[in-house]
Structure 1
Amino acid sequence: MSRKTLTRRQFVAATAMSSAALISAPYVRGAYAAGKLSIGFWDHWVPGANKASTDLVNEWAAKEKVEVSIDYITSNNKKLELTVAAEAQAKSGHDILQMPTWWPHAYADQLESVTDIMGPIIKQNGEVNGTTKYLGQAGGKWLAVPATVGSQIKGPCSRIDLMKKHAGIDVQEMYPAGSTPKDENWTTDTFLKAAEACNKAGVPFGIGLGETTDSVDTAGAIFQSFGAELVNAKGDITVKTDAVRQALEFYKKLIAVLPADAASWDDASNNKWLISGRGALILNPPSSWAVAKRDAPQVAEQCWTHGMPAGPKGRFAPFLPYFWGVWAFGKNKEAAKSLLTHLSQPSSIEKFVAASGGYDLPAFANMTKLKTWAEEGPPKGTLYSYPDPHGRQTMSIAASPAPPKIAQQIYSQATLTKLALRYARGETMEQALAWAEGECEGFMRS
C-alpha cells in the first residue's frame, strides 16, 4: 500500500531490460516470512513522477510478497532533511530513506553499508561519476545507493534565438542533438563575452548570487574550472592561491553584467527569469524549460540545454545527486537492499527518467543516452546534452574536494558566492581572501 502524508509541491509540468541475473536475484525470505518494509522517498517536483516509484516498488513487493508502505516527503522548508535528522536521532523510522548530497556522510555511522550490492550494480550500469563517489563513499565503503530520482545537473539552458542574435553563438550547432559537441571554443572567456553582449542588448544571463543552492552550485563549477579550492582534499586551507584569485577576477567581471538584484535571488528566481523571456541563459536542470513549455511555449521552443564553458582547468558541471540510504537500525535491511537493487536496474532507471520528463539523472556511465532525452521537445532534442552523453564534463559539487564535513559547511554557508560578492562590491582582493580564510578556519573548528 502507499500513503502520502505531505502535500506535493506543484513545481513543474510533466511531460533496456536487465541482463545481469546476479543483481536481479530475488530477496530470499527467512524466518520472518514476507515481512514489512517502510520507505521514505523524496516528493518529486514533477506531477506524476512519484507514480513511477510507487509502481516499481509495488512490482517488487508483489514478486517478493513483502508488505510495503511509502511516504513521499517534500524538500520544501527542508522537511526531508529534518526527517533524516529526526530518524537518526530517534534511531527509528523508515527502513529506506532518500537523502540529498551531504547527508550520507553526515549520518555515516548510522547507515548500513551497501557495498555488497553496489559492486554488481556498477558492473551492470557502468561506473559512477566522481561526485557520487565523493558523497556516497567513506573509507572505500558505499554509504548509500545513488538514486536516479531527484539527481540533476544544473547546466546552461540558453535561448537559441537570443544567443545567436546578440552573442553570435549557435548553441544548437555547438551542441547538436544526437552528435558529439563542437564545444572547443565554448570557454569561460567566450561565456563572459556572451554575457556582456546579452546584457548590452537588454537580455542578461540569469545567474543568481544568493545563498541558496542554485547560486552556490554555479559558483562551485566556475571556481573548479579555474582549479580554485578554498580547502583541499587533505583539509588544508588553500584560499590565498593564484587559482582562487583568477576565479574571483572572472566573477567580478561576470557580476558586472548580471541582473542588478542577482545577489538576492533564490532558487525560483532563475526559473522566473527564463520564463519571463528577459534572459538569454540560466543555469538549471530542465524544470525551468518544463514550466516554460506549460506557461510560455514561445520561450520553451527557443530553449536549448547544453554543456558548461571550459576554464583553464577543465569543464565542470554542477551535479547534485540524491541517495537511497538504509538505516543500520532498520528492521528489514536485507529486503531493503533487494528493493534498491530492483530500483537500480536499467529498466527501472529508464522509467524514472521518462516519468520525470528527463529531469531525473542516473549517476551511471552507461545510462546517459536514454531515448527520453533525445525525444523531448519542443524543440526536439532540447535535452539531449543534459546528461552529458559524450562525457565532455567533470561532474562536481561546490566546495569539493575538501573533506565532506568541511565542504558541507562551505556549501551551506554560501561562502563562494559571498566571497565573490565581497570582491565585486569593493573589498580588495586581500581583504576578501582574508575573510574567506577566517570562515574556513571556523568551519574546521566546528
Structure 2
Amino acid sequence: MMASSNKAFVRTRRRFIAGTAALSAGLVAAPFVRGAHAAGKLSLGFWDHWVPGANGATEKLVKEWAEKEKVEVQIDFITSQGNKLLLTSAAESQAQAGHDILALATWLPARYARQLVPVDDVMGPLIQQNGAVNATVEYLGKIGGHWIGIPATVGSQIKGPCSRIDYMKQYANIDVQAMYPAGSPPKAEAWTYDTFLKAAEACHKGGHPFGIGLGTTADNVDTAGAIFHGFGAMLVDDKGNITAKSDAVRQALDFYKKLMQFLPADVAAWDDASNNKFLVSGQGSMIMNPPSAWAVAKRDAPKVAEQLWTHGFAQGPKGRFAPFTPFFWSIWNFSKNIPAAKSLLAYLSSASASEQMVEASGGYDLPSFEKLTLFKVWAEAEPPKGTLFHYPNPYNHQVLSVAGAPAPHAIAERIYTQATQTQMAVRYFRGEAMEKTIAWAESELEGFMRN
C-alpha cells in the first residue's frame, strides 16, 4: 500500500480471491493511513481499467475531493478478469461489510437493490446539470421508483459497429465516413437491416466478412439484443409474460439465419476477444465493439487503425438500436459514511470530471448523460481524424438498449447471462425447425421464472 504525503488519500492494488465472505472481511481489515480529519473515511471499490493510465484520472479526482473534504479514502481497483469484481460484490453483499462504494456492472444494482442506498438526491441535480440519461440506464439503475446507483463514466460503453473504411467501400459500396461524418449528424437513412445484410454478403464474397460473434459471452449477446430490439422481438415483456412465440421473434431468427451464411464458420464459438482479434488481424470488415479494438490496432497494427471508423448501427423495422452496457457506482446500506459517499459520487459525475475520465481512457468510457457526448477527445481521436466522433451517440441517432429488456430484471439477467438469443439463432441456423427453437426458448424462460 502506498500512502500520499497528506495522508488523506490511499491507493491500493490487491489480489482478490473468489467466493467467500472472508474476502470482504479482508478488505475491511486492511489498514488505513491515519490522519486528524473530521469527515471520516471512505473505502472505494472501482473497476480496474484495461486502458493503461485510465485509473489515474479516477485516482486524481478522488484525491482532489478527499483533500477538499478532509476525508480519508482508500481505493481498490478490482479487475473484472476471472469475475473478481463480480465475486467481490457477492461476498460483500453476503458479509454486509466491505467497501462503502462499489462499482456494479449492468444487472447488479437490481440484484442488490435492497442493500443499496437510494441516491435520488444526487441524481436529481445531476440530471438537471448534465441532461437526461438514456432509457437503458434508467431501466437498470432506477428500481422501484428510486435510483440505487449513479451511472459511472468509467467502464460504460456502446458496442456499435467499427468498420473498415476501405473494405466497406470496395466490396459493399458504402462510404461509412460519408454516412457518419465527423462533426455532423448522420446521413444514414439507407443504413437498414436489408443494407446491412447486403453489405455482409458483399464483404464475405470479397474475402473480408463481418465479425459478428454468436457465442455465449457479452459481446455476442449485446449484438443479438440490439438486433432483436430492431424487430421489436421481446422474449419476455415488462410484466413477466413470455412473448417468444411472435412474428417479431421469427423475423429476428430469419435475419440471423441469413446473416450467418456470410460470417466466419466458427462464430458460434467466439468469445469477447474473438471479434477484436479478427478486426486487428486485418481480416474483418466490421465488428460490434467499443473502441478497444481500434486502440489495440492503433498500437499493434497502425495500418489497420487508419482504416477504422466507429459509427451507428443499422435500422430495423422497429427502429435503430445499439448495445449499451453501463457501470454504476452504488453505495452499500452498511456504509458508515453515506453523506461523504454521496458527495464523492456527485463530484465524480460532473462534466469536468467525466471529461477527464474519458480523456484518460482514450475515448473508451462513456458518460450516460445527454449533454456529455461532445467532448473533444471523440472529435480529435485519430487515426483517422474523427474516427470516434459518433461513438457516444451525440445526436441520439439510435436507441441505446440492453439484451433481455424489458423483462423484469431477474428474468432479463438470466436471458442475458444464458445467451438465450444467440443460442436461438445458432439452433435455427443449424437446421432446427423455427417452432422447435421457439419452444426450446419458452422452456428455458419458464425455468428462469421458476428459479
Partner of 2:136: 131
Q: Name the residue aligned to 2:45.
A: 40
- Opposite residue 50 of structure 1, the aligned amino acid is N
Task: Say whether residues 1:390 and 2:387 are aligned partners.
Answer: no
Q: CA deviation at 1:218?
A: 0.3
Residue 329 (structure 1) aligns with: 334
* Structure 1, unpaired ranges of 5+: 8-31
- Please report how far the alpha carbon of residue 93 of structure 1 lies from its aligned counterpart in structure 2 after TM superposition: 0.1
1:440 matches 2:437 = no
- State whether residues 39 and 340 of structure 2, in contact with CA within 8 Å, keep that contact through their aligned partners in structure 1: no
What displacement does 1:250 show? Answer: 0.3
- TM-score scaled by length of structure 2: 0.93
SS of 1:56 mapped into structure 2: helix
Structure 2: how far apart are the matches of 1:145 and 1:293?
Answer: 32
Return the alpha-carbon distance in structure 2 between the equivalents of residues 84 and 357 of structure 1. 28
Q: Deviations 1:329-388 (Å, cap 9, x if unpaired)?
A: 011111000000000111000001100000000100000111000000000000000001
Question: How far apart, in 1, do the equivalents of 2:82 and 2:247 lie?
Answer: 38
Kept in 2, the 8 Å contact 1:191–1:309? The answer is yes
Match of 2:264 among 259, 263, 272: 259
Aligned to 1:2: 11
Q: Hey, what's the Cα distance between the residues in 1 that align with 2:76 and 2:104?
A: 13
Output the CA distance in 2 between the equivalents of 1:6 and 1:436.
Answer: 39
Q: Say whether 1:142 aligns with 2:147.
A: yes
CA distance in 2, matches of 1:47, 1:426: 45
Q: CA deviation at 1:6?
A: 3.8
Paired letter, 1:200: K
* Contact 1:326 1:333 survives alignment (8 Å): yes
Aligned length in residues: 423
Larger RCO of the pair (alpha carbons < 8 Å, separation 6+): 1
Aligned to 1:54: 59
In structure 2, the residue matched to 1:22 is none
Counterpart selection for 1:182 from 178, 184, 187: 187
Note if 1:193 corresponds to 2:198.
yes
Hey, what's the Cα distance between the residues in 2 that align with 1:171 and 1:182?
10
CA contact (8 A) 1:6 1:72 kept: no
Given that residues 312 and 322 in structure 2 are in contact (C-alpha distance below 8 angstroms), is that contact kept between their aligned partners in structure 1? yes
Is the CA contact 2:172–2:202 (under 8 Å) kept in the aligned structure 1? yes
Matching residue of 2:216: 211
Identity across the alignment (%): 66
AA matched with 1:376: A
- What is residue 405 of structure 1 aligned with on the other side? 410
Task: Tell me, in whole angstroms, the C-alpha distance in 2 between the residues paired with 1:442 and 1:92.
Answer: 32
> Corresponding residue for 1:115?
120
Query: Given the alignment, which residue of 75, 81, 84 partners 2:80?
Result: 75
Matched letter for residue 108 of structure 1: A
Aligned counterpart, 2:32: none
TM superposition shift of 1:34: 2.1
Q: For 2:105 and 2:176, how far apart are their aligned partners in 1?
A: 31
Q: CA deviation at 1:140?
A: 1.0
Structure 2 residue matching 1:230: 3-state secondary structure: coil
- Deviation track 1:407-434 (CA, whole Å, cap 9, x = no partner) reads 0001000000000011000001110000
Tell me how far 1:139 sits from its aligned partner: 1.4
Residue 401 of structure 1 deviates from its aligned partner by 0.5
Contact 1:376 1:383 in 2 (8 A): yes
Between the aligned partners of 2:121 and 2:394, the Cα distance in structure 1 is: 28
Matched, 1:90 2:99: no
Deviation, 1:33, is 2.2
1: CA distance between counterparts of 2:50 and 2:13?
A: 15
Alpha-carbon distance in structure 1 between the residues aligned to 2:330 and 2:297? 34
1:370 aligns with 2:370: no
